[in-house]
Amino acid sequence: MCEELMGSWKLVDFSSDDFCKYMEAVGVSFLVRKAASHLKPDVAISKNGNEWHIKTTSTFKNTDLCFELEKEFEETTADGRKVMTIVTLENGVLIQKQTWDGQESTITREVKDGRMITTCIFKDVKCVRTYDRK
Ligand code: DKA
């Protein structure tokens, strides 16, 4: 069921206002928010055995999130924050839970109608980003 998430995706639909609000809520600096809010990154999701990769490529920063499901690890976010992260897969939805300083944010990725929907949530702030296959 996770197979449909695999492959290369490009961001096609998003609200930079909502993304900015999300970034501000989780503590991304003003300068990085300005640089990142209008970017259209590519995301490549792959899996080799139990090892997953989510590679994000943009003119701002390239990142490679490498993890095994249900094993907590320290993530350095694209803007340089350190968070503890655990990724689970529930009914085809990849759920990336980040925790730091008693705070929690969740980034979910799922395929609906052939598009990958990424939803970033922190408290009552939510932003939805839609990716198409490259
Ligand atoms: C996405 O994959 C968004 C993932 C959330 C990134 C939040 C921090 C970004 C800071 C540059 O579309």
| Contact assessment for residue 50 and residue 67, using Cβ atoms and an 8 Å cutoff | no
Is it the case that residue 1 has pLDDT exceeding 80? Answer: no
Measured in degrees and rounded to the nearest 5, phi and psi for residue 7 equal 125, -170
110 CB within 6 A, ligand 1:
no
Q: How many CB atoms lie within 10 A of CB 6?
A: 13
Q: How many CB atoms lie within 10 A of CB 134?
A: 10
pLDDT tens string 50-72: 999 999 999 999 999 999 999 99
Q: Whose CA is nearest to atom 9 of ligand 1?
A: 78
Residue 6 Cα to ligand 1 middle (Å): 18
pLDDT tens string 79-88: 999 999 999 9
**pTM of the complete model:** 0.97
Alpha-carbon distance of 125 to 16, in angstroms, equals: 13
> Which pairing describes strands 125-133 and 115-122: parallel, antiparallel, or unpaired?
antiparallel
ipTM of the prediction: 0.98
Q: Whose CA is nearest to atom 2 of ligand 1?
A: 118
Residue 77 Cα to ligand 1 middle (Å): 8
